[in-house]
């Protein structure tokens, strides 16, 4: 049997399995419905994967399907007190363009919409507020799903490694992770560019 099928945006649940509905026709022109669980390109060539991702996004794909085709990226981690740290800049560089495009655009939408939503609330503009709220909510959910799928192997239960902010040019204590905005509970100051006064032989405040 030969079928020509085209995706719809409809997602249905069949026996507990979430599937996407495709409309098709047989060689004899009989209309059929096709329910697809997952899709992936045969080739691992990044150019093919990028084209596949582009075509898949022509109709907004159901979340689980999009996420399931994303390649995972090994997250560069380094041991630290209380866990591991990871370098987000290195992780970003290891991602294929198709993933970077999605994450980057979603991050922009999420921030812009959060800002827009606040301003819409202050200026009492309910139409703009709903638009921004919807965009902020959807982009935050998608961003979370994609980052979890790509960097954490889909595991949102286990404690992730702690972000190292130093590759982003943000001052951070290499031992406890405190920053200018969020210092240690008892207060601290910088004793080295990436070490705060809570540690080691630097505990004593200078006299006078």
Total residues at interface with Zn ion (CB under 5 A): 8
Q: Which stretch binds Zn ion (CB under 5 A): 27-35, 105-113, 159-167, 195-203?
A: 195-203
Q: Which stretch binds Zn ion (CB under 5 A): 8-16, 70-78, 107-115, 193-201?
A: 193-201
Is position 172 an interface residue for Zn ion (rule: CB under 5 A)? no
Q: Which residues pair with 31 in a beta bridge?
A: 25
Provide the minimum distance between the beta carbon of 166 and Zn ion in the complex, in angstroms, as a whole number.
Answer: 13
Q: Which is nearer to Zn ion, 139 or 198 (CB)?
A: 198
Q: Can residue 80 be called a binding residue for Zn ion (CB under 5 A)?
A: no
Does residue number 198 form part of the binding site for Zn ion (CB under 5 A)? yes
Binding of Zn ion by 176 (CB under 5 A): yes
Q: How far is the CB of 79 from Zn ion (least distance, A)?
A: 16
Tell me: does residue 150 bind Zn ion (CB under 5 A): no
Residue 178 near Zn ion by CB under 5 A = yes
**From 15-23, 38-46, 97-105, 180-188, span contacting Zn ion (CB under 5 A):** 180-188
Residue 106 interacts with Zn ion (CB under 5 A)?
A: no
d(CA 183, CA 135) in angstroms, rounded, equals 33
Q: How many residues does the structure list for the chain?
A: 208
Give me the residues that bind Zn ion (CB under 5 A), please. 173, 175-176, 178, 184, 188, 196, 198
């Amino acid at each position: 049997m030969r079928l020509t099928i085209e995706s719809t945006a409809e997602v249905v649940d069949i026996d507990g399995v979430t599937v996407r509905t495709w409309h098709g026709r047989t060689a004899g022109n009989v209309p059929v419905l096709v329910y697809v669980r997952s899709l992936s390109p045969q080739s691992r060539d990044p150019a093919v994967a990028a084209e596949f991702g582009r075509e898949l996004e022509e109709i907004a794909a159901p979340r689980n399907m999009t996420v399931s085709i994303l390649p995972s990226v090994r997250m560069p981690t380094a041991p630290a007190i209380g866990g591991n740290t990871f370098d987000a800049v290195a992780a970003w560089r290891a991602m294929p363009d198709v993933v970077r495009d999605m994450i980057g655009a979603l991050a922009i939408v999420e921030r812009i919409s959060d800002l827009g939503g606040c301003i819409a609330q202050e200026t009492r503009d309910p139409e703009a507020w709903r638009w921004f709220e919807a965009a902020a909510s959807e982009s935050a959910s998608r961003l979370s799903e994609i980052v979890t799928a790509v960097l954490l192997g889909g595991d949102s239960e286990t404690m992730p490694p702690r972000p190292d902010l130093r590759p982003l040019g943000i001052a951070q204590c290499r031992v406890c992770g405190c920053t200018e905005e969020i210092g240690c509970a008892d207060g601290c100051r910088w004793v080295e560019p990436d070490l705060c006064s809570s540690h080691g032989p630097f505990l004593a405040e200078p006299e006078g």
